[in-house]
Structure 1
Amino acid sequence: MTQRSAIHATFVVERVYAASPARVFSAFADPEKKAKWFKGPDEWGPGDIGFDFRVGHGDHSIGGPPGDPPHRFHNRYLEIIPNTRIVYAYWMHHGDPLASASIATLEFKPEGDKTRLVMTEVGTFLDGWYDAPGREEGTRWLLEKIAPLVEG
């Protein structure tokens, strides 16, 4: 039998973009923009993605390294306040097993002509599939991919 565990963790990632809150928010709200940054590494190949940016609806992204079980991300938007805040619940599977479940809050804070994005995640990491340091690193990597889309 699989060794069962549940590790709880919270982390905060901040990133300042040289763009207005509306431009940064659009990277999450516009499906064409989000498809450019919300995906795995190029070597994973094209994944199965879908976006439905409405409260009560959500997104999915399924993909992974060739030959490995897929990483499957699903979320539900709980609150969307344009250019101000997004709150969503999400869960990930590694192949079939549920590997993590989280609540994430994105805050878009104006700082002059820039925006400070503050992402706070409260997560439960199950049975050793994922962990908070790895998730935080992946989050930072994804948020860096937004900069060229909004700062141009």
Structure 2
Amino acid sequence: MSEVEGSQDSLRISRVFPATRQRTFRAWTDPNELKKWWRVGREFVLTVAEIDLRVGGGFRIGVESPSGSIHMVRGRFLEVVPPERLVYTWIAEDPNLKQMETLVTVEFLERGDATEISLLHEKLKDGRLRESTRFGWASVIDGLATLLRSDS
């Protein structure tokens, strides 16, 4: 089960996964792995996954809706410490939401044979953006849990 906390402009999600920190980090950062589990709801499937995993490197993620439209997110890595921590910018390219740069910090914490992901998404100033982000991360984290459970 995920623990979800939020403030007026941030969202924090923590969850423990039945996998090593290295495995969990690889699932989060390898485009081929990402395509196995990154989902938003049951109907939006990841079709674009491009990651240049280095400080200053960029990423693009695109999920396809049942109608065929693609919803893109892009950003730049500000900190990359395998397999411990990632910090990156996040810009949702959604015509229905005000486009703004936000900040994501993901920590991969050893918990015995398991890994806790602590994700902090900040600078979510717009209420609609914050709510859609909360729903999106909850779905994404559930998808990662499904993949890592199937590994064990």
TM score, norm. by length of structure 2 = 0.78
Q: Residue 145 of structure 1 aligns with which residue?
A: 143
2-structure distance, mates of 1:40, 1:17: 19
Mapping 1:33-112, distance limit 5 Å = 33-40=33-40, 43-44=43-44, 47-65=47-65, 70-95=70-95, 98-112=98-112
* Counterpart residue identity of residue 35, structure 2: A
Larger radius of gyration: 1
* Counterpart residue identity of residue 105, structure 2: T
Cα 1:97–1:68 change in 2 (3 A) is: farther
Instruction: Report the Cα offset of residue 10 of structure 1.
Output: 0.6
Contact 2:41 2:136 in 1 (8 A): no
Structure 1 gaps of 5+ residues are: 1-7
Deviations 1:29-54 (Å, cap 9, x if unpaired)? Answer: 22210122235456446634322222
2-structure distance, mates of 1:30, 1:83: 12
TM score, norm. by length of structure 1 = 0.78
Aligned-residue RMSD, C-alpha: 2.6
Q: Residue 32 of structure 2 aligns with which residue?
A: 32
Q: Residue 4 of structure 1 aligns with which residue?
A: none
Contact 2:51 2:60 in 1 (8 A): yes
Cα 1:39–1:52 change in 2 (3 A) is: farther
Q: Percent identity?
A: 24
Structure 2 gaps of 5+ residues are: 1-7
Specify the SS of the correspondent of 1:47.
Answer: strand
Instruction: Report the Cα offset of residue 141 of structure 1.
Output: 0.8
Q: Residue 20 of structure 2 aligns with which residue?
A: 20
Cα 1:97–1:14 change in 2 (3 A) is: closer
Contact 1:69 1:94 in 2 (8 A): no
2-structure distance, mates of 1:125, 1:69: 26
1-structure distance, mates of 2:60, 2:87: 16
